[in-house]
Structure 1
Amino acid sequence: MLVDQAQLQAAEDFAVLGAGERAALGSAALLGHLPTEVADRALWWQRHLVEVLTGLSPDAPAGTRPRPEYDPAVRSLAERERSKAAELAALGEEISARTVKRKRQRYEAGGVEAVVDHRLAPHASLLGRADPSVVSAIRQAIAESVDASTRTIEYARWRTEQILAAEHGKDVVEMPSRATFYRLFAKLSGGVHVTGSARTRRSLADQPEGPFRYEQVAAPGELMQIDSTPLDVLVRLDEGMPGRVELCGLVDVATRTIAAAVIRPTTKSVDASLLLARALTLEPMRPGWIDALKMSRSVLPHRRLLFLDERLEHAAARPVIIPETIVCDRGKAFISENFRNACRALEITFQPCHPRSPAEKPHIERTLESVATMFCQFLSGYLGRTAEHGGRNVEDEPLWSMLEIQEFLNEWLVAKWQNRRHDGLRDPGSPGRTFTPNEKHASLIESAGYVPLALGADDYVELLPATWRAVNSYGIKINHRVYDNAELGPFRRQPSGVTRKRDLWEIHRDPYDANWVWVRNHWEGGWIPVPWKHLGSVPQPFGDLAWNHAAADLRRQGESDPTEEQIAQAVTELLTKAGQGPGSGKGSRTPRPSRRDQRVAARTRAAAEVPGPRLPKPGTPPARTDDPLPHDDEERDGTQDGPIAKVIPLGVFDPFKEADKRW
């Protein structure tokens, strides 16, 4: 009677009776770490034991019949073991039937590696016969070095002695010799960098113990990461003053697209918020860029997307990505209330990392490092990633301004980064093929779709840091500065109606431009631009950095509580003094400004020159984000073929000085 195997195993009353545990599968590859004679001896035992178990040796040709003394159908297992012992004794091997039985049992339990004679194999113990107390003390010394400065092995040996004396008493546990301690320390500190880079040591200690989590993303913007880092390039801030700046970037995990990247003197919450606005704004073609950088010439589906978003007509080959979730660290600029409000206004999920967990946002960490190695090192004034990699007299090299480096970075991201094949963008069906960020975005947009989101002028004001103040009779006071105009008349000494904020008024301001603030009209909606009342006396734009620096200088000069007019005048003198440069000759009466004054003034002016989405000025209609930039031939009127004349700005009219003039 024949029964189909599938039907037999599917029957409810089917069961396998009397089945023992399956023997382990042995592998000769496991013997590779053993000496040749030890491995050959194990394979020799395997051939004889297989014949005892099956009746045939492993290398027997097909159709071979078992020898009578090893035929399982005729002889029992014990008889076959005695026959094998007798055969080996005839060959000169003094092996008993009991030894054959013991080897056979080990082989069935653990395979060929179980029959290895470990007396002939070298000991592979990590610590050998080291005292467990010494090992524990060394591990404690290694753990203490994670957050400490880098020291030598000799310090670790001294620290180990101190730990043993504190736990067991002095001279109770014997310390190993210097050579033995060095060998033991090298084994226990492998991969920890105890005597190496402190930064690497802390980074390795912050890694999770378990496996790294792999984020499954299927659409552009589904998961994005933001971070900032000091740029390894010296820039010319103002009047030739060199200084360091920071790079703040936003990367899309699905496509590895750098959606936005800005260079600022210091990363503030307004920079992180406006970085979101730059990600939602297309990258326009700029004068001097070649036509190959246009989106219409790239692999992106420009023609089909143009029907959905007319702004793409004059755009460069960088996709516009709308974030859904943003992962960031716990830097002040990212966990600030302003950045949280910006994410909330744009309906973006805000997801901060755990403290000291760079592994939770590895993509932006590696992206910023790639920008440093692939872009920054080609710029004049490159400093190297650390002090030991830096050159001499880098500040004497011809340095680019922050505005020029930002322009270079924008073009490099479009020309190089978006068209560079990324190792993390591979086809699961064909792992050998890699994609560029633009190619990956073009493939994902087919399934995820594209919905344009254009920001207006009021949206940029919403992204600025917010504070709450009262509208008094004299106006609004913020950081000893008074802002006032006629439009605040109906709101003076009036409650805003926001009871949870004690009826104060919501005010947004740009830290890099202290000349204007925007007051939210809680009664009728919209924004009220309010200027600083001393705006006419200080024509240069400046921000909180210059203001706080001038206030600190006045306090050092003995002014316990400097007035607003004094601070404003000090700011004007600071910017003017730094702009004049050093005095010429011994008889010059103009004192040379300190490097700190020059640096503050330079960083303030550089921050005001950074291109990108700018705030609307009062009385001007909001600019369209889809207007193409004019080309070089459109900017010239045909009369500027010669050298451009030097522009001499007019001074501020001072009626008191005019009255003293003699006509």
Structure 2
Amino acid sequence: MNGGRPGVLRVGDRVVLSGVRHTVTGLAGTLVHLADERNRTSVVSLPDLLLQAKVESGPAPSLPRLPSARFHGLPAKAVEGASWWEPHIIEVLTGLPAGAPPGARPTDQYDPATRSLAEREAAKAAELIGSGHAGVSSGTVRRKRLRYQAQGVVGLVDGRADRARPSTGQTDSRVVDVLRRVLAAEKTVQGPSRTVEFFRWRVEQILESEFGPSVVPLPSRATFYRLFRKLSAGQHTTGSARTRRSLAGRPQGPFGQVTPVRPGELMQIDSTALDVLVRLDSGTPGRVDLTAVIDVATRTVTAAVLRPTTKSVDASLLLARTVTPEPMRPGWADALRMSRSVLPFVHLHGVDERLAHAAARPVIVPESMVCDHGMVFISDNFRSSCRWLGIDFQPGHLGTPTDKPHIERMIGTVGTQFLQYVSGYLGSSVERRGRDAAAQPLWSLPELQDLLDEWIVACWQNRPHDGLRDPVSPGRSFSPNEKYATLIQAAGYVPLALSGEDYIELLPAKWRAINAYGVKINHRVYDDAQLNGLRRQPSGVTNRKDLWEVHTDPYDVTRIWVRNHHQGGWITLFWKHLSTAPAPFGELLWNSAISELHDSGVTDPAENEIAEVVGKLLQRAHDGPPGASAEKTPPRRKRRRPNALGHPAVLDKSASHGRLPDEPTLDERETDQPDEDDFLADVVPLGIFDARKEAERRW
């Protein structure tokens, strides 16, 4: 190719080969497809073309580029204008309009062989003016052509439509800077939520203190509100303070990813108050705490316990429940057995025969445990339990719940998928809370614990989780039981259940002397014939003043365990007044009975007195609140009590609590009901109030 050889051979280039003008119509490897003026086609190899052909004009114009992503964010009017200009610029560059058929010849005024680029630009300007587009000059066409060659169709967009504008508009930069500082300080302090008007006042105060009064004008209220929305976007500044603190604690960089490959490699524990009322041991309604453990690899909830107030021993006992099988309960469906689930029951049962009567919840031994800095988890009791079980204790960062997101999410799911269906549900926040939640029929704490255990086995362990997707087939999600069965086949994981002695080791320890009457714990005496020969004897533990190590269960005071420092093992001692207690109970109810006796004037209550009060409390708890159902229980007689003025007033003490689960319905009660008149209250006549006589009375 002689003369001004283009750097690139493109479709549409015009060349002269053997004295005949051709147009390049296609390129296929080293073959060039040509078409002459009579629309006759031919194929020439590229080397022959480069040696024999002659370029008819200067360098071939650049073809239009594809629209960039910026093109799609422009206004529709600007995009329409660029699309209108594009075929005109193509005609100026190539001589042919866009979409011209093969073999078409350019008109004389746009023919690149006879017209220069400047002449073609002038011709296009004249054409557009003649068609009614005033104000178009050859300079305008030239600028459009240069921008089109450099940027493609995006270059034809009106520059005013694509002009970058500051996000803060025309507001004074000093106002913007002060508002940014105020928002940053509010985020750091994590104070209460405030309105936008407070921040407007605060910005005004800082501007006056730094630049003087009226030096920097404050924008109008509407402008300031728009500016505030732009600068505080995503910070939840005027919304919920809890959400704002959560967003402030979120890491600024990319989230890390820890992918455990076997059960128990990474587990998380947490405790929180539940939004539900239960019937406590004392018979009064109250909220309870949920403490739960989750395995990150399988999302298995290995243990979850409800307590009126979470203590360090609860966390330790939770570790014990994690490594022990979940037994089947009376009334549970047979489909909830481990032998009926997807878990490898045959393989696991060969290791531990106690799994024969276990529910479909895996037994997982923790390797590392992540927790927050709550007093329950950083206590010596919980730390020592982790050390004894060989668990790597890993407390998270202060104020960073994102260090244990899986257990946080699990507790939230308990509220949305379980608690809101439970009678006594309060709502997730104050604004979502209803009225008279205590008037609903409330479950007792053991009953709600059984319901929660059944829900975990039946629902949670068999529900597919979005975080348990197959990396090879992302469309498939696994349930915790399915993931557990998959991982133990790959990792060769065999859990060993906790023995009875191991369970006792996790209980809190006290150091007491063995007296002639036995061992005394909090006004309770425990004794057994196994203590014969050890009474009033030293234990041999000199650093504990020869006292004996005693382990207690704070939720079952019926027995204690004394370590036999002489012969090894444990000695089980039963409470002396166990036969007088109607049911097992814990320290919380025992302390409540002691407080009741103190309030009645008994400063040093005897053991049998406390046991008697406990029995009455348990009976009241079993009977439920008085007047459990306003609809199904006959109303009580109303008592008269003097009011503040000394006149008798009618006081209705019937409660509006719902019927307890074991309370008989109207159909189950005796059919010999008293007449309706027997339930009417006595009519109490009230005297007419005379202000003058009352003023003369001497009080």
Q: Deviations over 1:319-354 (max 9, x none)?
A: 222222222111111222222222222222222111
Moved more, 540-549 or 246-255: 540-549
Give the deviation of 1:113 after TM superposition: 3.9
Alignment of 1:87-486 (within 5 A): 87-92=123-128, 94=136, 100=142, 104=146, 108=150, 112-113=153-154, 116-121=157-162, 125-146=166-187, 147-238=190-281, 240-466=283-509
Contact conserved, 1:84 with 1:100, CA < 8 A, in 2? no
Instruction: Measure how far apart 1:371 and its partner are.
Output: 1.2
Q: Distance in 2 between matches of 1:371 and 1:84?
A: 75
Residue 33 of structure 1 is aligned with which of 73, 81, 92? 73
Structure 1 window deviating more from structure 2 (63-72 vs 522-531): it is 63-72
Gaps of 5+ in 1: 1-22, 589-641, 644-663
Shift of 1:27: 2.8
1:494 deviates by 5.1
Q: Taking structure 2 as the reference length, what is the TM-score of the superposition?
A: 0.67
The 1:434/1:124 distance shift into structure 2, 3 A limit, reads farther
Equivalent residue, structure 1, for 2:121: 85
Aligned partners of 1:547 and 1:567 also within 8 Å: no
Equivalent residue runs for 1:484-563 within 5 Å = 492=538, 495-496=541-542, 508-513=551-556, 518=561, 525-527=568-570, 545=588
Q: Deviations over 1:380-407 (max 9, x none)?
A: 1111111221221111111111111111
Structure 1 residues 159 and 537: alpha-carbon distance in aligned structure 2, compared to 1, 3 A threshold: farther
C-alpha distance 101-431 of structure 1, shift in aligned 2 (>3 A): same
TM-score, length-normalised on structure 1? 0.71
Which residue identity lines up with residue 374 of structure 2 in the other structure? G
Cα distance between partner residues in 2 of 1:124 and 1:503: 81
Distance 1:116 1:429, change over 3 A: same
Query: How far 1:544 moved relative to its partner?
Result: 5.4
Greater RCO structure (CA 8 Å; 6+ sep):
1
* CA offsets 1:600-637 (integer angstroms, 9 cap, x no match): xxxxxxxxxxxxxxxxxxxxxxxxxxxxxxxxxxxxxx
The aligned amino acid for 1:132 is S
| C-alpha separation in 2, matches of 1:64 and 1:275 | 85
Cα gap change, 1:472/1:407 in structure 2, threshold over 3 Å: closer, same or farther? closer
Distance across 2 between alignment mates of 1:318 and 1:350: 24
1:509 CA drift (Å)? 3.8
Mapped partners of 1:353, 1:24: distance in 2: 57
- Taking the aligned partners of 1:450 and 1:142, their CA distance within structure 2 comes to 51
Per-residue deviation, 1:98: 9.5
What is the alpha-carbon distance in structure 2 between the residues aligned to residue 216 and residue 65 of structure 1? 66
Question: Are the aligned partners of 2:539 and 2:565 in contact in 1 as well (CA < 8 Å)?
Answer: no
Deviation at 1:366, TM superposition (A): 1.1
SS for the counterpart of 1:270 is helix
CA distance in 2, matches of 1:523, 1:55: 109
Tell me if the contact between 1:551 and 1:567 (Cα under 8 Å) persists in the aligned partners. Answer: no
Q: How far, CA to CA, are the matches of 1:97 and 1:502 in structure 2?
A: 104
SS of aligned partner of 1:164: helix
C-alpha separation in 2, matches of 1:469 and 1:163:
65
Amino acid aligned to 1:138: L
How far did residue 450 of structure 1 move? 3.1
1:117 Cα offset (Å): 2.6
Q: How much does 1:491 deviate?
A: 6.1
Aligned letter for 2:125?
A: A
Letter in 2 for 1:278: R
| Deviation for aligned residue 1:243 | 0.8
Distance in 2, matches of 1:462 and 1:526, equals: 11
CA-CA distance at 1:88 after TM superposition? 3.5
Deviation at 1:466, TM superposition (A): 4.4
* Cα gap change, 1:190 to 1:238, in 2 (>3 Å): same
The superposition leaves residues 367-390 of structure 1 with CA deviations (integer Å, 9 ceiling, x where unpaired) of 111111111111111111112212
Q: Is the 8 A contact 2:342 2:481 kept in 1?
A: yes
| Counterpart residue type for residue 75 of structure 2 | P
CA 1:506 to 1:493, structure 2 compared with 1: closer, same or farther past 3 Å? closer
Gaps of 5+ in 2: 1-62, 129-134, 627-635, 642-667, 670-699
Q: CA RMSD in A?
A: 4.7
The answer to whether the Cα contact below 8 Å between 2:562 and 2:573 also exists between their aligned partners in 1 is yes
Map Cα deviations across residues 432-488 of structure 1 (whole Å, 9 max, x no partner).
222222222222222122313121222112212346789999999988999996666
Aligned counterparts of 2:70 and 2:505: Cα–Cα separation in 1? 65
Per the alignment, do residues 211 and 475 of structure 1 end up closer, same or farther by CA in structure 2, a change over 3 Å counting?
farther
**Paired letter, 1:187:** K
- Aligned residue pairs total 559
Partner Cα separation in structure 2 for residue 249 and residue 62 of structure 1? 75
CA distance in 1, matches of 2:191, 2:482: 46
- Stretch moving more, 170-179 or 46-55: 46-55
Q: Residues 303 and 102 of structure 1: is their aligned pair in 2 closer, same or farther, counting only changes over 3 Å?
A: same
Higher share of residues assigned strand = 2
Structure 2 CA distance for aligned equivalents of residues 515 and 494 of structure 1: 27
Q: Displacement, 1:244? A: 0.6
| Mapped partners of 1:141, 1:184: distance in 2 | 13
